[in-house]
Structure 1
Amino acid sequence: MSDLFPPFAPDPEEPRKRLFKPVPFRVIVPNIITLIALCLGLTAIRLAFEGRYEPAVIAIVVAAFLDGVDGRVARLLKGTSRFGAELDSLADFVNFGVTPALILYSFLLHELRALGWIAVLVFAIAMALRLARFNVMLDDPHRPEWKKNFFTGMPAPAGALTSLLPLYLSFLGVSIGSAAAPIALVYLLGLAFLMVSTIPVYSGKTIGLKVPRQWVLPIFVISVAAFGLLVSFPFEMLTAITVLFLASIPLSVMRYRQLERAHAANPPPEASVEPPPA
Structure 2
Amino acid sequence: MNHDPADDDGGDDLTGSKRLRRGLPLRAVAPNAVTALALCSGLSGIRFATAGRWELAVVLVLVAGVLDGLDGRIARMLHGESRFGAELDSLADAISFGVAPALILYLWTLETLPRFGWMASLMLAVFCALRLARFNAAIDADDQPHKSAGFLTGVPAPAGAGLALLPMFAWFWSGEPFLRDPRFVAPWVALVALLMVSSLATLSWSSMKLRRNVRFEALALVVIVAAAAVNAPWETATVACLSYLASLPFSIAGYARIRRLRAAGTIPAPTPSPSA
- TM above 0.5: yes
Identity of aligned residues (%): 40
User: Contact conserved, 1:108 with 1:178, CA < 8 A, in 2?
Assistant: no
In 2, distance between residues paired with 1:168 and 1:179? 11
In 1, distance between residues paired with 2:270 and 2:211? 31
SS in structure 1 opposite 2:208?
Answer: coil
Q: Compute the displacement of 1:151 (Å).
A: 1.1
**In the TM superposition, what whole-angstrom CA distance separates every residue of 1:113-172 from its partner, at most 9, and x where no partner exists?**
121111111111111111111112221113358635211111100000110111112211
Change in CA separation of 1:98 and 1:270 when aligned onto 2, cut-off 3 Å: closer
Which residues of 2 match residues 1-278 of structure 1 at below 5 A?
18=17, 20-21=20-21, 23-144=24-145, 147-176=148-177, 180-208=181-209, 211-212=211-212, 214-266=213-265, 268=268
Query: Normalized against structure 1, the TM-score is what?
Result: 0.86
In 2, distance between residues paired with 1:62 and 1:40? 7
RMSD: 2.4
User: Contact conserved, 2:178 with 2:184, CA < 8 A, in 1?
Assistant: no
**In the TM superposition, what whole-angstrom CA distance separates every residue of 1:215-255 from its partner, at most 9, and x where no partner exists?**
33333222122111112111000000111111111111111
**5+ residue gaps, structure 1:** 1-10, 272-278
Change in CA separation of 1:32 and 1:148 when aligned onto 2, cut-off 3 Å: farther
Deviates more, 1:63-72 or 1:198-207: 198-207
Counting matched residue pairs gives: 258
In 1, distance between residues paired with 2:113 and 2:134? 31
User: Contact conserved, 1:111 with 1:178, CA < 8 A, in 2?
Assistant: no
Deviates more, 1:55-64 or 1:175-184: 175-184
Query: Aligned AA for 1:68?
Result: G
SS in structure 2 opposite 1:154?
Answer: coil
User: Contact conserved, 2:97 with 2:157, CA < 8 A, in 1?
Assistant: yes
User: Contact conserved, 2:148 with 2:270, CA < 8 A, in 1?
Assistant: no
SS in structure 1 opposite 2:220?
Answer: helix
Judging by fraction of residues, say which structure has more helix.
2
Query: Normalized against structure 2, the TM-score is what?
Result: 0.86
SS in structure 1 opposite 2:152?
Answer: strand
In 2, distance between residues paired with 1:170 and 1:202? 27
Query: Aligned AA for 2:259?
Result: E
Change in CA separation of 1:172 and 1:148 when aligned onto 2, cut-off 3 Å: same
Deviates more, 1:113-122 or 1:42-51: 113-122
In 2, distance between residues paired with 1:228 and 1:240? 14
SS in structure 2 opposite 1:138?
Answer: coil
Moved over 4 A (4+): 14-17
**Structure index of larger Rg:** 1
SS in structure 1 opposite 2:20?
Answer: coil
Q: Compute the displacement of 1:25 (Å).
A: 2.4
Query: Aligned AA for 2:173?
Result: L
User: Contact conserved, 1:153 with 1:195, CA < 8 A, in 2?
Assistant: yes
SS in structure 1 opposite 2:68?
Answer: helix
Change in CA separation of 1:264 and 1:224 when aligned onto 2, cut-off 3 Å: same
In 1, distance between residues paired with 2:270 and 2:163? 40
In 1, distance between residues paired with 2:247 and 2:270? 33
Change in CA separation of 1:15 and 1:225 when aligned onto 2, cut-off 3 Å: same
Change in CA separation of 1:148 and 1:270 when aligned onto 2, cut-off 3 Å: closer
